[in-house]
Chain A
Amino acid sequence: MAFQEPAAEHLAGAAAETFNAGRTILEHVSNSSREHPLIHLPTLAGIDFSVTKHVLMLWLVAGTVFVLVTWAIRRYLRQDRLVPSGFMNALEAIVEFVRDSIVLPNVGKKWVNTWTPLVLTLFIFIVSANAIGLIPIFDVLGVLNHWVLHAGEESFIVRVMHGGSTATANFNVTAALATITFLAIIVAGTKAHGFVKHWENLVPHGLAAPIYVILIPIELMGMFVRPFALTMRLAANMTGGHIAILAILSFVFLFTERFGTAIAGIGVGFVLSVPMAFGISLLEIIVVLVQAYVFSLLTAVFIGMAIHVHH
């Protein structure tokens, strides 16, 4: 019958619009699609340089940290008195904390000034990238767009709202950071003992020859496994917290859909979702700091292991 066709289409449309919690959560934590990048850039040597959401967040974090730190230090150097104040005071406290609590106990006095800049850079970058992911910038932009801006589907504003905003939840980003650690371990060992001696130090000395046949491949594989564990740990922890918050918040929409009334969703949101999401968000603040701390600490531990060889 003629009236059945629009009804069927309506039902199909309604089914298509059913809230899919898994898809929504994944879209909010993963990178934006490579087919629709935020900024189109050319492909060079088979590598597409187009900018996706996580790349944009990386630039944002790197740019913000660079401008803020440079500005604070230049202002401090221009002033007459030696006592820092305001942001510079906080920055100095972070520098001292990283140097005295993370780098010094692991690499020792002789090498502390060589390796503090690297560990400090990693710490500040990871803290900033983690923290920016906690601030709902793009969600506020979405609300603004819905009520005020009404930008088109293909506009930059709408495209920038797709995808997660925590760059450190992307395994490629953490893999790049772990690669820096991996190279730093080799450079540290080489600087301390010389290139050949560093590789000799990988395995204990004075063992029977057949043991080396087993031990050398294990140590070589271990060399790659340690940065891989760093990669997994940071990205998994940053993704996990966001998934937990989004899963709890999705109860609002699931209950609305299940009971066919908004009151059910609002009730669950008021009693369960929002308080729990708030609690987990507070925990996430600790996670943001702890994860940056542990990454920096382990980088210092690995560098220290390459310098002070123990078997």
Chain B
Amino acid sequence: MTKDEDRGGDLQRSLNAFQENIRRAGPAALAGYTLIGAILLLGGIGYAIDRWRGTSHWFLLAGLLAGLVVGFYELARTVWRSGGPPRE
């Protein structure tokens, strides 16, 4: 095997490893984003309801709490689903 072929093979292996890492990290990264997203989305909805109804922060607090619950639930689901979906 020539040096160029060897270098090409290394690059190919690196790219494959990089792709594999991203493929595996994708759902895990989503769990992190879902946790923050749930808190932001539901907290935001709570804040909007507070502004609309003139209530002082009760809906914001409820939204943040609901966001935490939903976010952690989604996180737990991602962790539990470690095997991944089956190939048919």
Contacts and interface: CB of A to CB of B under 8 A. Distances in A.
Contact of A221 (B19, B26, B66): B66
Interface string A87-118: 00000000000000100111111110000000
A310 B79 CA distance: 13
Contacts of A108: 85-88
A38 interface: no
Contacts, number: 82
A221 B85 contact: no
Given A229-B33, A310-B81, A101 B19 contact: yes
Contacts of A294: 22, 26, 29
Given A222-B70, A290-B22, A233 B33 contact: yes
B23 A101 contact: yes
A157 interface: no
Interface residues of A, number: 31
A226 interface: yes
A310 B41 contact: no
Nearest to B73: A218
A290 B18 CA distance: 10
A231 to B, nearest CB: 8
Nearest to B23: A297
A56 interface: no
Contacts of B61: none
A232 interface: yes
Contacts of A305: 85
A262 interface: no
A224 interface: yes
A229 B42 CA distance: 12
Given A101-B19, A232-B40, 18 more contacts: A105-B87, A108-B85, A111-B88, A221-B38, A222-B73, A225-B37, A226-B74, A228-B38, A229-B30, A229-B34, A230-B30, A233-B29, A297-B23, A297-B26, A301-B26, A301-B27, A307-B85, A308-B88
Interface of B: 19, 22-23, 26-27, 29-30, 33-34, 36-38, 40-42, 66, 69-71, 73-74, 81, 84-88
Interface of A: 101, 104-111, 218, 221-222, 224-226, 228-230, 232-233, 290, 293-294, 297-298, 301, 304-305, 307-308, 310
7 contacts: A225-B41, A225-B70, A226-B34, A232-B33, A232-B40, A233-B30, A310-B85
